[in-house]
Structure 1
């Protein structure tokens, strides 16, 4: 049964959608001012949600017991980053750079764990903003209809940025907004600088679009097995009714392929296999053959797009793999982690720390600002325990969504999209830093907020709601 939403929730929800639409525009929000602005707006949305509940005297539903552990784990890196920044920690914990700087300057300095206090606070601000987006999305999309609208709007936003990127690509102007490109010529990057980062963003939009059309197909399938003669007519009906959705998928898939990002495209394809596999294998009403046939328009659009736009990616297959290019940097990062495995060097301090460890085994050693492996970078900066707590918090929410699928029918797609999105960003984070781009981290937090709203849904009858 659909639950009415309050006016305050409606306002916050539409504010969240505007924020989601804005985040990719200023170069993926990957500049100091746009990072701070995104975090500020995220916090204001969360504050607006709280004020709205106070003014309307609306009681928030009790915290689902399954959320307690992920939230507690997510709090670990937040608290630890503040500890790293503080000056009241034992001197034996402080990074040696503070003693060296004091000796060089000939004046006492307050030591800290972090080597760059400003970078640690800035990165902590970003993480708080993503958590605010996650919580706001979770609080405003408990209604399955609202969750569906949220994913549909996100897919349309993604299609808009894909259309812009394709228009710039085929015009041959090599620009990003009002700026001339300074890298990644001949690749679709939309409003992002890095093609790998945009590939992740396009992939997230594609997962939402494909997931929604798969759900539409599932709902149109009869409960009894279909006769084979009726399947072509059903596929044609779905294609005519979902023409706009297929256009959205076409735009996103084409833009994704024309990025030429091997890791981004590969991670998205694996995530699509996961999404399609879960969606089709779990639906036994019309059988797997019926589901595949009904999904024929979608499959044909994806295959045709990947074939037509495969040029850039095929051209790059002769090059070394992304992981092979970065193995020396990973080795140096592991050595740096061994220096301070528990304390870390300070959240957001990879660039400074890596500069002290790099050598000529790394290509262009002076230009490395990211580890190109989010897991290693987090372990270096936060320390292994806090980094593992952050990863485990995300994994537990995805695992809960996967488990909840057995008790869901109408809202299963929101869980499937969240799981496949986690596969996408999780795999890509092994060889790149897309999740460290604010617009992408905000998009993923938004999707996982929608997923968590359905995975941890509560009703007056009990802690969990079954759709079956």
Structure 2
């Protein structure tokens, strides 16, 4: 009996260690959406191990039954590019919407008709499938891990954000390619370990609600580091606000106040929905101090960033072109990863410029183009899932588990909002963080075990459900 128990413990520890390695690889090596084949290969190899261990854990314990809907969404998202790679008879393929120019090109080239996959770019679609593996592996692993392990992952992400901000301080101070991890990047800006400052801003915004949960975890706690967690949460938020001012991302600046408001709400709920407690006051103090520093040293560059909006206006001008292409390829889409060549075939000559439009800068439009109605259906289903789980998390009482779930709810909303004007989930770093947040939030569907309270400290209750909400 004891040998079997120790074997199970070692298996779960192996899963936690493997998932932590995957998270570290993704954060440090997955900050670019291109020019990263070797780092991406390392992340995907780590994901295969995590995926195997996670699937075994879910199957051995039956935990998967508590997460059927989310696992179904993830499975369908991974299955979609594989379906697009299934060869079709040429006559059927040629009759699909949007293939007329491709058929003409094959005829002019004298290429004999053959079975072809639905995707116009099967090599890119295969890469898109491989890119799904790390977030899929993190999701499956996180659903099988205890809440205290997931909490450590979140604290690790907060530590990574602080480290990235410190690296970013060197970047804007030295302005040398030696301190930038990617060749194609925003030189002169604070990007941390990312290639794009907007994605660094997204991660900073995601960290704000979790820093509030960190501060909230110190409320009504009897351990000796309760006050340390309170102060740490407030200081992290203040540092992030200063960093957002230095990053000068439009979305980062605009979303900072809503993120701070959500952080205050998390602190208020953590205090039992009573009068403003120390957590809320510290969060407000940290945010206000950060805003004061930004206003003192970075207000003019930020305003100048909003005035120099030619690039953003270019995105708005290009979106109707993307929408037209998406309509032409309905209902099945052009294939995952095919945006770049498809858009180039639609781009008007008068819009050509030195810079090129390699992403739609609107993930919902890009999904519509590449995956058709099936992709949009998955997006809508994901928002439905998020709404139901968020409702369960926010109406619940004060508890460390619920604090993390509420923070995950806000983090997912921030990522979804930024995806309407950029492509943060095209980086493995943000995709894996997104998957971890999904796993944490899905725990809101389970009731906490009776008798557990904040005063008894963190528990493993997310993975020990009593019953499910109907």
Shared fold by TM > 0.5? yes
Change (3 A) 1:50 1:327: closer
1:100 to 92, 101, 104: 104
2:255 to 247, 267, 281: 267
Change (3 A) 1:62 1:41: closer
> Which residue of 2 is the match for residue 11 of structure 1?
14
> Which residue of 1 is the match for residue 3 of structure 2?
none
Superposed CA RMSD? 3.2
> Which residue of 2 is the match for residue 173 of structure 1?
176
Give the Å deviation of 1:120.
0.6
> Which residue of 2 is the match for residue 316 of structure 1?
305
Match status 1:132 vs 2:137: yes
Change (3 A) 1:259 1:356: same
Q: Which runs of 5+ in 2 are unaligned?
A: 1-5, 447-461
> Which residue of 2 is the match for residue 38 of structure 1?
43
User: Is contact 1:188-1:195 (8 Å) kept?
Assistant: yes
Deviates more, 1:363-372 or 1:110-119: 363-372
Change (3 A) 1:158 1:428: same
CA offset digits 1:19-39 (Å, max 9, x no partner): 222223236153223223322
Deviates more, 1:453-462 or 1:421-430: 453-462
> Which residue of 2 is the match for residue 228 of structure 1?
none
Distance in 1 of aligned mates of 2:187 and 2:217: 37
User: Is contact 1:275-1:416 (8 Å) kept?
Assistant: no
Distance in 1 of aligned mates of 2:221 and 2:248: 36
> Which residue of 2 is the match for residue 110 of structure 1?
115
Distance in 2 of aligned mates of 1:447 and 1:460: 19
> Which residue of 2 is the match for residue 399 of structure 1?
388
Give the Å deviation of 1:263.
1.5
2:427 to 408, 427, 437: 437
Q: Which runs of 5+ in 1 are unaligned?
A: 222-236
Distance in 1 of aligned mates of 2:350 and 2:207: 37
| TM-score normalised by length of structure 1 | 0.83
The alignment covers a number of residue pairs equal to 438
SS at match of 2:309: coil
Distance in 2 of aligned mates of 1:53 and 1:69: 14
CA offset digits 1:194-229 (Å, max 9, x no partner): 11111112222333223311342x4369xxxxxxxx
Distance in 1 of aligned mates of 2:229 and 2:141: 32
CA offset digits 1:387-441 (Å, max 9, x no partner): 3314422551453133233234212211111111112111111111111112111
For residues 387-426 of structure 1, the aligned pairs below 5 Å read: 387-393=376-382, 395-397=384-386, 399-410=388-399, 411-426=401-416
Distance in 1 of aligned mates of 2:135 and 2:256: 22
CA offset digits 1:102-154 (Å, max 9, x no partner): 3133122433321100101111221233122111112113x3x3332221121
Distance in 1 of aligned mates of 2:76 and 2:65: 19
> Which residue of 2 is the match for residue 219 of structure 1?
220
> Which residue of 2 is the match for residue 230 of structure 1?
none
CA offset digits 1:271-329 (Å, max 9, x no partner): 33233235426855532477644545434444344435534323212223865331111
User: Is contact 1:28-1:439 (8 Å) kept?
Assistant: yes
SS at match of 2:315: helix
Distance in 2 of aligned mates of 1:183 and 1:379: 27
Deviates more, 1:108-117 or 1:5-14: 5-14
> Which residue of 1 is the match for residue 186 of structure 2?
184
> Which residue of 2 is the match for residue 448 of structure 1?
438
Change (3 A) 1:103 1:183: same
For residues 291-330 of structure 1, the aligned pairs below 5 Å read: 292-293=280-281, 295-308=283-296, 310-311=298-299, 312-320=301-309, 323-330=312-319
> Which residue of 2 is the match for residue 353 of structure 1?
342
> Which residue of 1 is the match for residue 454 of structure 2?
none
Distance in 1 of aligned mates of 2:292 and 2:310: 25
User: Is contact 1:76-1:390 (8 Å) kept?
Assistant: no
Distance in 2 of aligned mates of 1:256 and 1:165: 11
> Which residue of 1 is the match for residue 418 of structure 2?
428
- Which has the higher relative contact order, 1 or 2, with Cα contacts under 8 A spaced 6 or more apart? 1
Change (3 A) 1:398 1:44: farther
Give the Å deviation of 1:17.
2.0
> Which residue of 2 is the match for residue 224 of structure 1?
none
User: Is contact 1:373-1:429 (8 Å) kept?
Assistant: yes
